[in-house]
Amino acid sequence: MAHNFSKTKATSQKATVADDRIPCTARKLRPKFVLAHSPQGWEWSEHTGRYLPRLKMIALKPGANGIRKGAGGHLGAMASLMGKGWTVLPDDIEVLETDDETGEITSDTGYMVSYKTTSGTTYLETWARPVVIGNTTDFDSQYDSEGFDAWRVLLVDKGHVRPPNPAILAQLCGRQEVRASRRIPEAHDGAPHIQKYVEHEQSKLADMQAAAEKSGTKTRRKVSRKSARKATNG
């Protein structure tokens, strides 16, 4: 039988809980957290065709990550991160969720939500989709990755996260160039699965370079989709 659990917005100042109790052992409870971004943390998203910020989840648990006990015990650690150039995202940044079929907005929440479990309250990203399996709960396998990526796009477009430094994009393109070229000699031997792999990686490189060029980044060797196909044909 499918379970539908309600979730409510949670903030670092005030805890809120959902109505349903879902099975969870005490050791698996997750504390409140914030999401933060390092200026070096970027990745290519094939789904969106964009460079997206990689976000780190920082647990607001005393004794971890420089968090102290008491109200506001996380403020010093957050200030230290920001002093190193990190962006600490406020937990009240709007997240709009839509119905998969109608496209209508179904909820307006922040990125952290809480669920009431049999062992207490646990805190998850709003894109988590808990699934009860017997007397346990799977919190991770049904994660809404597409929704998360769409939100990361908005973080950049709305100025919550600054655009990537061109040097970072050049590094990412350089790594992908190595990955895309590594198995070209094998592709020339005619193995279909390797040819498909190489063509995909070369096309991915072309897309990454094109996106980087739009932001003013110079790449070492620009690859077109046509040349990506030629790479597998010898």
Q: Note whether 202 and 231 are within 8 A (CB).
A: yes
Residue identified by tokens 């994660």 is: 143
Q: Write down the pTM of the prediction.
A: 0.78
186-211 confidence digits (pLDDT tens): 766 667 888 888 899 999 999 999 99
Q: Return mean pLDDT, the chain.
A: 84
Of the two residues 71 and 166, the one the predictor is more confident about is 166
Domain ranges in the chain are 8-157, 166-233
Of the two residues 21 and 64, the one the predictor is more confident about is 21
Sorted by sequence, the CB contacts under 8 Å of residue 160 that are 6+ apart come out as 87, 89, 93, 154
Q: What pLDDT, on the 0 to 100 scale, is given for residue 18?
A: 44
Q: Is 38 exposed, middle or buried (0-12, 13-18, 19+ CB in 10 A)?
A: middle
22-69 confidence digits (pLDDT tens): 999 999 999 999 999 999 999 999 999 999 999 999 998 887 777 878
State how far the Cα of 130 lies from the Cα of 62, in Å rounded to an integer: 26
